[in-house]
Chain A
């Protein structure tokens, strides 16, 4: 809402500068986004009078004009001729500068000297009249006055950013009441006195409302014998300051009054309304209406229309119809001021993409008190400025009678909520400044009656806010809540997420956050089969694009997209992870909330760590991720972890494993199938993992468990074997532990070799075995006996000992 300060002064004198007032507004809840002058200053452009006009001797389309600036006569060559001697016009003297930086100098035009320029409104930055028409400055302006001052370019405009509850501030009157609440100054109503010199309105017009649910009130006045033309300059300038384009006197008046009272109005050419009969009804299917913007709109039962017995003539509250538009031929004007249903108006405005100052006001709610004020005000202005005759009476059809809200306010409760101690009289005085009526009740409470313009005030808490904001939020003290303590340790699942990030970042991975919605094509490229639930994500009904069309069922697409993105910046070595939810529908279409499962996803590509001069570089692979995951699972003391080779739909056929904990699937690690990677435009090996963090929560013990230190020394033995490739290392390790018996402690693989000196299809593995007994030192004989059993067990698996 643009509030021209000079216009506001007609309603109230706050005794403050525009900037001071803006500051008070902002700090009391009506934010002022900017305070800026209406126009640029234009030194050297002054009010001049046309003294004479003569034809240019050489050019028939030019005139030679003499302009009196009050102190000097200027000869000017001009292309426009809409002025006449005696008219006041804007004279840009040589050396002056117009908005947009255009400099005016003395020039010779087809042999005639031209000292300066006579300006059109557009040349002064005003959207008024035709572009090639000189602006005629009517009214009593002194010759030589700077035009920027004469036109009020220095008037300050306050740009109010109004919250949805403060519809009252969408009018100058409402802004004036808010100003009064802040300053105590008095509000003045614009003059509403009018002379109804025509016949009775009932004889000229009849109205019926058949959809009272969508139109709780419809009022009309009729003004006859109007002469259509431009509205006076002062009104045009005010509308421009408010951000509204002047059109004609009748239309301008409806807009002008809307700015004053917040009540949108529409003016119909009554002569074009069939039988002078107006029906407010729902639209019919197949009906159409060409609105003022020239677009044909299809109507139906969802929209409210203003109609005559034959046809719709307007979209209620949104835009009038072309068929009853005010034109230069209009003589009889029907002024409509109504209260239309807010949600319906909003839907209609949205549907036809016709948001307007009017529809915005109906959406937020208009002041029922101002409906008839606005009728009187508009009729008065039409009779004064367009020479009309006002018919006697107003048609007013109401189905709802909004009652002013009456609220019981307990000053003790007000103070209790705010943490303040404002005495009751001060609360009363705040109510008084707001023009709310207060009656004391016998139980120390106040009965407050709220005027209709403040429909947002309905309950005691609303009054609490009024008191707080007018007393000043800055005067509210600073305290901290008292009260019982709560157990507020981080939950196990939050701890698991925090520790996961600790461990995985310490392993060299960078955290990503990708969108929860993905492109379903990504799931196709992962080759997930139809029976896999991840192939059936929850669709978003109204996504921006296919890229964000479904809720992710796996973090993998986000990871691969991120890998590709970074490869495009030549970041060849990447280690990434994300912790986030995937969405598993219990059934589709979705009827209840889905299962949101928190997953950890990881991805590596390129070398890890990044190549450096000191350590040989190595391709990041399955074991890079497995190492980090082992550290993580060890941190959480997850027991019974196994890595079972299994080919996944999107995995490299032989470089893929599912991770099991006590037989339950925690997730997977795999190299992505080269063709799947290629589908993501990734042309280097990429390995990924995804594990279920909720399952980890259920299996984790977050507190480390102490085990007594060994009291007797341990003994170590190494064993090296050659065995066929198809026997997994884990199987050999288990065989060692089992055969070695209870004295066998840790078994670690410290060497793995394939190649020269090892037969084809075989590999050499070397394990280090720790023997220990809790009570007593081990003897050489015991250890040798255990080693023999181990060798026998390994031989049984086809292993040869290497010595």
Chain B
């Protein structure tokens, strides 16, 4: 009996495949599945099958009925489509034509990097603070332990408005403003992104650029904490395999001070042109807040400590996106801006 069912399936499949039009297909449906069709006829012979085999045969026959119905339905829609081939052809599209343009602009690459930096430090529990671009001599220099007659205060290096006001040369004055606002409460954890200005204009300097300052003040902030924070930042910014290296350095407003290098993102530390074969790239300056700075801002340096760091946003963007020329950032050339979509 099973063999007969199998043979019927084979036969019906061949016949349906060969059917040339809907009329013929209709005939096949009647012939195989109709009340007087072959399947029904076959099942009439079920009585001669031993009783224990009957359920199995019944199930097989039922499956076959469904199979044949589907087969015939599919063939039917194919035959119908074929009948309308002229219309389909008229409706044909050229799938290689460009898609409907989505109008989407893009942030400036520096904004992209700034947003990324902010997001990383929001995640680390930092607040974002702002200060004015036109700053007083006091906040820009004096409060940061850069006394009058210090070389950094040379007229030739800064844009002055008058002897007491200038375009800030770094975002560090926001440290002082942030501490003054909060002292004597603890902790202080802020970053201060913004524009800064220096009297430099050549292939590697722009008279205006961007920095992000960071500051943490509390009862027991350590140099080790600074290291940990910066390592975390480097990994969030440049990838989890990043290493950092601190080298002693000098800034008037930190003591001890450190330059911070990250492992070269071009060569991974093996040495290449970008890192002058050192395997390291300098990305920021940092240190423990100088006691005089703490004092000026209203904290007792015997009781609290803090760290501070400052980074150049252009430098990070150049590394991150592989941009070779600083001046592109302020050319606002659309051919450049469109690359960050």
Determine the chain A residues whose CB is within 8 A of the CB of B155 once the complex forms. Answer: 542
Cα distance A427–B279 in the bound complex, in angstroms: 32
Determine the chain B residues whose CB is within 8 A of the CB of A417 once the complex forms. Answer: 222-223, 288, 305
Q: Decide if B222 touches A507 in the complex (CB within 8 Å).
A: no
B73 within 8 A of A: no
Take A508-B104, A516-B197 as given contacts and tell me if A481 and B111 are in contact as well, using a CB distance cutoff of 8 Å.
no
Q: Decide if B291 touches A459 in the complex (CB within 8 Å).
A: yes
Q: Decide if B110 touches A513 in the complex (CB within 8 Å).
A: yes
List residues 443-481 of chain A with CB under 8 A from any CB of chain B: 459, 461-462, 464-465, 468-469, 473-474, 476-481
A511 within 8 A of B: yes
Flag B213-236 by CB within 8 Å of A: 1 or 0 each.
000101111111101110110000
Determine the chain B residues whose CB is within 8 A of the CB of A566 once the complex forms. Answer: 332-334
Q: Pick the most buried of B104, B136, B222: most chain A CB atoms within 10 A of its CB.
A: B222
CB distance from B291 to the nearest CB of A (A): 6
Take A494-B128, A498-B115, A613-B97 as given contacts and tell me if A506 and B104 are in contact as well, using a CB distance cutoff of 8 Å.
yes
Which of B126, B161, B224, B334 is in CB contact (< 8 Å) with A571? B334
Take A461-B288, A479-B224, A486-B189 as given contacts and tell me if A474 and B159 are in contact as well, using a CB distance cutoff of 8 Å.
no
B107 within 8 A of A: yes
B321 within 8 A of A: no
Take A480-B232, A486-B187, A610-B101 as given contacts and tell me if A501 and B201 are in contact as well, using a CB distance cutoff of 8 Å.
no
Which of A166, A469, A494, A511 is in CB contact (< 8 Å) with B111? A511
Take A505-B105, A512-B337, A515-B207 as given contacts and tell me if A474 and B161 are in contact as well, using a CB distance cutoff of 8 Å.
no
Cα distance A28–B248 in the bound complex, in angstroms: 6
Q: Decide if A574 touches B334 in the complex (CB within 8 Å).
A: yes
Cα distance A459–B252 in the bound complex, in angstroms: 13
Q: Decide if A507 touches B224 in the complex (CB within 8 Å).
A: no
Which of A163, A511, A596 is in CB contact (< 8 Å) with B107? A511
List residues 79-132 of chain B with CB under 8 A from any CB of chain A: 97-98, 100-101, 103-108, 110-111, 115, 118, 122, 125-128, 132
Cα distance A11–B162 in the bound complex, in angstroms: 49
Determine the chain A residues whose CB is within 8 A of the CB of B159 once the complex forms. Answer: 517, 540-543
Residue of A nearest to B164 (CB): A591
CB distance from A336 to the nearest CB of B (A): 24
Determine the chain A residues whose CB is within 8 A of the CB of B135 once the complex forms. Answer: 593
Interface hit among B1-9, B31-39, B59-67, B253-261: B253-261
Cα distance A596–B195 in the bound complex, in angstroms: 13
Q: Decide if A478 touches B227 in the complex (CB within 8 Å).
A: yes
Q: Decide if A480 touches B105 in the complex (CB within 8 Å).
A: no
Determine the chain A residues whose CB is within 8 A of the CB of B151 once the complex forms. Answer: 164, 346, 363
Residue of B nearest to A481 (CB): B225
A416 within 8 A of B: yes
Determine the chain B residues whose CB is within 8 A of the CB of A402 once the complex forms. Answer: none
Cα distance A501–B216 in the bound complex, in angstroms: 29
Determine the chain A residues whose CB is within 8 A of the CB of B334 once the complex forms. Answer: 510, 566, 569, 571, 574, 576
Determine the chain B residues whose CB is within 8 A of the CB of A543 once the complex forms. Answer: 159
Q: Decide if B122 touches A490 in the complex (CB within 8 Å).
A: yes
Determine the chain B residues whose CB is within 8 A of the CB of A488 once the complex forms. Answer: 122, 125-128, 189
Determine the chain B residues whose CB is within 8 A of the CB of A117 once the complex forms. Answer: none
Take A165-B250, A417-B288 as given contacts and tell me if A483 and B98 are in contact as well, using a CB distance cutoff of 8 Å.
no
Q: Decide if A540 touches B216 in the complex (CB within 8 Å).
A: no
Determine the chain B residues whose CB is within 8 A of the CB of A477 once the complex forms. Answer: 224, 227
CB distance from A79 to the nearest CB of B (A): 43
List residues 598-625 of chain A with CB under 8 A from any CB of chain B: 608-610, 612-615
B265 within 8 A of A: no
Q: How many A-B residue pairs have CB under 8 A?
A: 244
Cα distance A721–B281 in the bound complex, in angstroms: 69
Which of B101, B156, B290, B330 is in CB contact (< 8 Å) with A609? B101
Report the contact-size class of chain A (Cβ under 8 Å from the partner).
35 or more
Determine the chain B residues whose CB is within 8 A of the CB of A594 once the complex forms. Answer: 132, 134
Which of A486, A498, A514, A548 is in CB contact (< 8 Å) with B125? A486
Determine the chain A residues whose CB is within 8 A of the CB of B219 once the complex forms. Answer: 483
Determine the chain A residues whose CB is within 8 A of the CB of B149 once the complex forms. Answer: 342-343, 346
Q: Decide if B332 touches A576 in the complex (CB within 8 Å).
A: yes
CB distance from B208 to the nearest CB of A (A): 5
Take A465-B256, A465-B257, A474-B245 as given contacts and tell me if A516 and B195 are in contact as well, using a CB distance cutoff of 8 Å.
yes
Which of B104, B228, B247, B330 is in CB contact (< 8 Å) with A515? B330
Which of A166, A464, A541 is in CB contact (< 8 Å) with B160? A541
Determine the chain B residues whose CB is within 8 A of the CB of A491 once the complex forms. Answer: 128
B329 within 8 A of A: yes
Determine the chain A residues whose CB is within 8 A of the CB of B197 once the complex forms. Answer: 516
Q: Decide if A418 touches B224 in the complex (CB within 8 Å).
A: yes
CB distance from B334 to the nearest CB of A (A): 5
Cα distance A165–B257 in the bound complex, in angstroms: 12
Q: Decide if A596 touches B106 in the complex (CB within 8 Å).
A: no
A668 within 8 A of B: no
25 cross-chain CB contacts under 8 A: A27-B248, A29-B248, A164-B250, A461-B291, A464-B288, A468-B256, A476-B246, A477-B227, A480-B232, A481-B187, A483-B220, A484-B186, A486-B126, A494-B128, A507-B103, A510-B105, A516-B197, A541-B160, A574-B334, A576-B332, A590-B134, A593-B135, A612-B98, A612-B101, A615-B101
4 tightest CB-CB pairs across the interface, nearest first? A419-B224, A29-B248, A419-B222, A465-B256
Please give 10 more A-B residue pairs, beta carbons under 8 A apart, in addition to A461-B290, A483-B187, A544-B199: A416-B222, A464-B288, A476-B223, A486-B126, A488-B125, A511-B111, A542-B199, A583-B134, A596-B133, A613-B97
